[in-house]
Structures are given as structure tokens and as C-alpha cells.
């Protein structure tokens, strides 16, 4: 049945908007595996509390107030949009199915953008600064006022030996006053080029480094089933790899959400609809990403 002019507004609201949000919610994504979403209520959020980890003390006479330095770490929200233009004639000629398909593609792209910004920030962590003023992955992160520094960076290619070393290194991380944090990494993030090596390390029944008859005789593979594997095309360097503890309250990446995606339109009763005979459908959101706790992540920058 052809669409009449009076149907267009209702069709947009009841059909295209539903198609967008259904597809947006169902689209495959991975950002929530490595990022903590934190709601935002203003243009820029101040994360002075990052790094502050007060411990538990015996109550003697009075409470002990932790002497923890605040950090001047800010994340400013950005505005994002995506828009398509549709000729009014396309709606009148009953091409709604094709237009709905474009709207669904817009929804998938919007959801994928969250993957792009989160994994993209993880990839640039060797140069981009976190809350302590140093790159996210650095060899000398200061731990409060203890005078101790610790490293969450490596340079070795992905192998059983380098992966085991990184796991041990993370499990030794301390808090701001020098107490063990109990970090236990549970996720390995790699580029598509490192997928096969990572899959072998985490799934082989026998010791896989390298996978030779001699090494197979060493016994079972202690890495088998130990870590979840995430492969992202947004990790642009083919050799770099990342080890994460994703069970912590604050993960390696913060996704700061001010306004989630909303679906809007300029339709027939607008100037553009009248003069150009074109309707515009678009989405808009406000969010940004920043670094969370560096102690929840290890990055290997392989030359």
C-alpha cells in the first residue's frame, strides 16, 4: 500500500525510530568488556578520586583518615552525530524498507563507534596521559606518597613466557600505601594479526611456546582457559597486546556518558522539507572516553 503524505510523520516515529533503537541494542559490541560506563551530569567531569584506595585499619582511639593526594584528571564530553537525507519521493513510492535498512546501518555504526573510541584509547595508552600525569602504560607510575614506582608496560612479543610474566607483574601491583591490591587479570586483548597466537596460547592443551614436540612433553598448558580473549580491529598496531583485570570497579577505560543516542528528524513541515523535498534523519549523543585505573591494565608495545 503506497504511503500518503499524512503517513510520513507517523511512519518516522513509529517505524524508523523503533528500527534504530532495536538495532542499536542488538548490534554486536565489545566496549563494555574493557570500559566502565560512568554517567555524566555536566560538560566536564573531574576525577580527583582516581588512585585513591583507602584500606581497612584496626579502630584504636579514633579513625585514621587516609592521606591521599587528589588528581586533576578531567574528561570533557564531546558531541557526536550521524545524519542521512531521504528524498520525499522515496517515501511516497513505498521504499520504506530501503530507508529502514539505512537507519539500521546507522544504528550499527553508532554502536560500533563506542568500540572505536574505547579500544582506540587503549591503543594510544603508550603516549596518552592518565590521571597521574604519565602515559597510561608506563614504567614508573608513582604509588601515592610511598616513594615506590611500578610498571605496567612491556616490550616483548606475545608468547607464553611474556604473558606469564605480565600476569605475575600485575598480581604484584600495590595500592597507594604499598599494600597488595589483589589484581588478577582475566582478559587478553589483541589485534586480528595476533589472534592465532593468542588463541593457541589460551586453548592449547599442551605447553605452546613454541608448539614443538619437545615443549609439548613439558606437560599441560597452564594458560589454557585462564583468560578471556578479545580481538578488536580498532587495535591498530598488529603487534601490541594488552592484559586487563575487568572485574575491578574501575576498569582501564572510562566511558563517560552525558547523553545517549537519540533519534531525530527534519521532515515535511520544515523549511528543508518544503524547499528541497528532502527529509533528514539523524542521531546525536554526547560522551567521551578517558583512562581509569592504570593498575587494571598492562600494555606491551612491541617494536
Above pLDDT 70, what percent of the chain? 80
How many angstroms separate the CA atoms of 297 and 118, rounded?
14
Report the chain's mean pLDDT, rounded to a whole number.
85
How many angstroms separate the CA atoms of 169 and 139, rounded?
12
For 71-127, what is each residue's pLDDT tens digit?
A: 889 999 999 999 888 777 766 665 667 778 888 999 999 999 999 999 999 999 999
| pLDDT number for residue 209 | 64
pTM, 2 dp: 0.85
- pLDDT above 70 for 195: yes
- pLDDT above 90 for 144: no
- pLDDT above 90 for 49: no
Query: Concatenated DSSP letters for 91-156?
Result: HHTT-HHHHHHHHHHHHHHHHHHHHHHHHHHHHTTTTSB-TTSSBSS-S-EE-TTSS-EE--EE-S
For 34-44, what is each residue's pLDDT tens digit?
A: 999 999 999 99
For 222-234, what is each residue's pLDDT tens digit?
A: 899 999 999 999 9
- pLDDT above 70 for 204: yes
| pLDDT number for residue 131 | 94
Q: In terms of Cα–Cα distance, which of 3, 21, 4, 5 is closest to 264?
A: 21
3-class secondary structure, 168 = helix
| pLDDT number for residue 6 | 47
- DSSP category for residue 21: H
For 253-300, what is each residue's pLDDT tens digit?
A: 999 999 999 988 765 555 544 455 777 888 999 999 999 999 999 999
Residue 145's pLDDT band, with cuts at 50, 70 and 90, is: confident
Domains present along the chain, CATH in parentheses:
5-50+70-300 (3.90.1690)
Residue 119 and residue 235 in contact, taking contact as beta carbons nearer than 8 Å: yes
Residue 178's pLDDT band, with cuts at 50, 70 and 90, is: confident
Q: Is 136 exposed, middle or buried (0-12, 13-18, 19+ CB in 10 A)?
A: buried
The separation between CA 179 and the C-alpha centre of its own chain, rounded to angstroms, equals 28
3-class secondary structure, 68 = coil
| pLDDT number for residue 61 | 64
- pLDDT above 80 for 64: no
| pLDDT number for residue 60 | 62
Amino acid at each position: 500500500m503506497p504511503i500518503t503524505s499524512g503517513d510520513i510523520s507517523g511512519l518516522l516515529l513509529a517505524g524508523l525510530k523503533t528500527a534504530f533503537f532495536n538495532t542499536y541494542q542488538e548490534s554486536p559490541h565489545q566496549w563494555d568488556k574493557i570500559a566502565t560506563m560512568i554517567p555524566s551530569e555536566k560538560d566536564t567531569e573531574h576525577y580527583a578520586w582516581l588512585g585513591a584506595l583507602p584500606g581497612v585499619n584496626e579502630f584504636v582511639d579514633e579513625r585514621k583518615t587516609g592521606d591521599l593526594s587528589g588528581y586533576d584528571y578531567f574528561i570533557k564530553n564531546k558531541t557526536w552525530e550521524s545524519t542521512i537525507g531521504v528524498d520525499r519521493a522515496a517515501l511516497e513510492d513505498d521504499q520504506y524498507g530501503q530507508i529502514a535498512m539505512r537507519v539500521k546501518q546507522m544504528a550499527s555504526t553508532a554502536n560500533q563507534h563506542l568500540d572505536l573510541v574505547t579500544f582506540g584509547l587503549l591503543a594510544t595508552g603508550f603516549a596518552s596521559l592518565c590521571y597521574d600525569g604519565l602515559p597510561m602504560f608506563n614504567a614508573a607510575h608513582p604509588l601515592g606518597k610511598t616513594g615506590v614506582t611500578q610498571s605496567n608496560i612491556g616490550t616483548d612479543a606475545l608468547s607464553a613466557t611474556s604473558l606469564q610474566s605480565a600476569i605475575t607483574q600485575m598480581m604484584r601491583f600495590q595500592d597507594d600505601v604499598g599494600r597488595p591490591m589483589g589484581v588478577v587479570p582475566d582478559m587478553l586483548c589483541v589485534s586480528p594479526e595476533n589472534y592465532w597466537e593468542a588463541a593457541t596460547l589460551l586453548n592449547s592443551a599442551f605447553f605452546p611456546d613454541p608448539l614443538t614436540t619437545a615443549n609439548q612433553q613439558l606437560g599441560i598448558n597452564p594458560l589454557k582457559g585462564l583468560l578471556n580473549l578479545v580481538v578488536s580491529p580498532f587495535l591498530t598496531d598488529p603487534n601490541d597486546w594488552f592484559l586487563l583485570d575487568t572485574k575491578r570497579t574501575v576498569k582501564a577505560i572510562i566511558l563517560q556518558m552525558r547523553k545517549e543516542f537519540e533519534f531525530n528528524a527534519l521532515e515535511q513541515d520544515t523549511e528543508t522539507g518544503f524547499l528541497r523535498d528532502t527529509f533528514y534523519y539523524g542521531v546525536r549523543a554526547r560522551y567521551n572516553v578517558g583512562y581509569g585505573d592504570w593498575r587494571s591494565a598492562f600494555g606491551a608495545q612491541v617494536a
